């Protein structure tokens, strides 16, 4: 989605509608030794909420080097065949593409020090962003309420996503999308660390696939590839959709026969809502459902950090692990436990199906919490302490 989408590789789920009944509970992942996303720092545990979701179903790739010329030729051939495109057109676009050293530097930049929730939240929830969100909601209320009625996704949630992603369209990126994806799809930076080799190979394959999807998107929606600008990672528009998400979740909100996620507000609002409803599969957005409630962890119990974040844990199961919600929870709800590191100690939350839906937009617990709390502030509700 945005540059922050780089936290993980998204996988498509099953399509869900906003009003479907609660799904059956899948098997829970409780392995004691999760897959590592990279070498750990000895003696250091990153603050809870900064980690990405861990999955056991990651494919192992063949790391045998392939010469660039061969990889490029294979890409042109395969993309043309997959999407019914003219290989000469693909070749001409790639011939004009530029390697982006700035993209390589940004992607290679060492990770910033890990921060807690009390430092993360003020970066996204500010007076200016709240006021800007209220003004944006007022300006586009009619379109947003139509989308809310149709999908069940609250208008303030849609607005909060746009606020966090691009400051309500104030900055959507200046990097040519073709250049960004060409660079990362064929020259994704390598650290030389064998523990990261598989991850880096998957990232390169991901961006190469996004480049192929960009060509398909251009054909389908009549986009001029030479003029598309966005983030250094290839996300575009007010909602910062990657090409695959544009194709999979984009909606023609105003019925003009075209999906325009660059500057068509009806399409943008409808597509963000559609993403929430469908990306989570059986755990997509639930109309009228809760998002999160703060919880208390009983003394003598350790915080529970399941492998993935699907909200499959019943309140009884969470109670057995020491969790007590501090606000009423509708009967039958299932949740995932969330721990956020703050200056005065950890905060404990229970995230429900709609919280999980927000994490599909960006695979970060703190991101999801920031979006939800910003949406509450835009709706005029009081914020909990950071």
Contact 355, 280 (CB under 8 A): no
Contact 241, 269 (CB under 8 A): no
- CA–CA gap between residue 286 and residue 303 (Å, rounded): 27
For the beta carbon of residue 210, count every other beta carbon within 10 angstroms.
23
Largest CA distance in the chain: 66
> In 3-state terms, what secondary structure has residue 198?
helix
Residue 377: CA count within 13 A, CB half-sphere: 24
Q: How far is CA 267 from its chain centroid?
A: 19
Q: How far apart are the first and last CA of the chain?
A: 26
- CA–CA gap between residue 140 and residue 138 (Å, rounded): 6
Residue 295 in tokens: 């919880």
Contact 211, 93 (CB under 8 A): no
Alpha-helical (H) ranges within the chain are 68-83, 87-96, 101-108, 117-124, 127-139, 141-151, 155-166, 177-186, 197-221, 243-249, 265-279, 315-320, 353-361, 365-378
Contact 183, 102 (CB under 8 A): no
Q: How many residues does the chain have?
A: 386
- CA–CA gap between residue 104 and residue 249 (Å, rounded): 28
- CA–CA gap between residue 161 and residue 272 (Å, rounded): 8
Looking up tokens 């007010």, which residue turns up?
Answer: 238
> In 3-state terms, what secondary structure has residue 326?
coil
Contact 10, 275 (CB under 8 A): no
Has 165 been annotated as catalytic? yes
β-partners of residue 171 are none
User: 51, 165, 200, 286: which is the annotated catalytic residue?
Assistant: 165
Q: Which residues are catalytic?
A: 165
């Amino acid at each position: 989605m945005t540059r922050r989408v780089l936290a993980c590789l998204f996988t498509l789920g099953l399509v869900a509608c906003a009003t479907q009944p609660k799904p059956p509970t899948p098997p829970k992942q409780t392995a004691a030794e999760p897959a590592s996303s990279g070498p750990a720092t000895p003696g250091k545990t990153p603050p809870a909420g900064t980690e990405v979701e861990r999955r056991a179903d990651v494919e192992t790739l063949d790391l045998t080097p392939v010469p660039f010329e061969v990889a490029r030729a294979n890409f042109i051939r395969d993309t043309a065949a997959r999407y019914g495109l003219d290989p000469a057109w693909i070749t001409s676009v790639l011939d004009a593409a530029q390697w982006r050293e700035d993209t390589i530097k940004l992607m290679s930049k060492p990770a910033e020090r890990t921060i807690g929730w009390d430092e993360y939240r003020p970066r996204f929830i500010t007076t200016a962003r709240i006021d800007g969100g209220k003004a944006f909601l007022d300006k586009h209320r009619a379109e947003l309420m139509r989308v809310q009625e149709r999908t069940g996704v609250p208008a303030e949630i849609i607005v909060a996503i746009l606020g966090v992603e691009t400051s309500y369209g104030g900055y959507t990126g200046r990097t040519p999308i073709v250049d960004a994806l060409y660079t990362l799809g064929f020259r994704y930076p390598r650290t030389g660390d064998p523990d990261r080799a598989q991850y880096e190979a998957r990232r390169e394959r991901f961006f190469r696939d996004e480049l192929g999807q960009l060509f398909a998107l251009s054909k389908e929606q009549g986009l001029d590839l030479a003029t598309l600008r966005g983030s250094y990672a290839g996300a575009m528009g007010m909602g910062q959709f990657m090409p695959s998400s544009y194709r999979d979740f984009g909606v023609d909100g105003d019925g003009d026969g075209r999906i325009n996620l660059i500057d068509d507000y009806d399409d943008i609002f409808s597509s963000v809502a559609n993403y929430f409803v469908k990306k989570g599969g059986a755990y997509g957005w639930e109309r009228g459902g809760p998002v999160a409630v703060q919880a208390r962890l009983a003394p003598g119990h350790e915080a529970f950090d399941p492998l993935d974040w699907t909200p499959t844990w019943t309140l009884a199961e969470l109670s057995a692990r020491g969790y007590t919600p501090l606000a009423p929870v509708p009967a039958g709800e299932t949740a995932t436990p969330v721990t956020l590191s703050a200056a005065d100690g950890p905060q404990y939350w229970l995230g429900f199906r709609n919280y999980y839906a927000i994490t599909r937009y960006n695979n970060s617990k703190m991101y999801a919490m920031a979006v939800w709390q910003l949406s509450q502030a835009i709706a005029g509700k009081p914020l909990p302490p950071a």
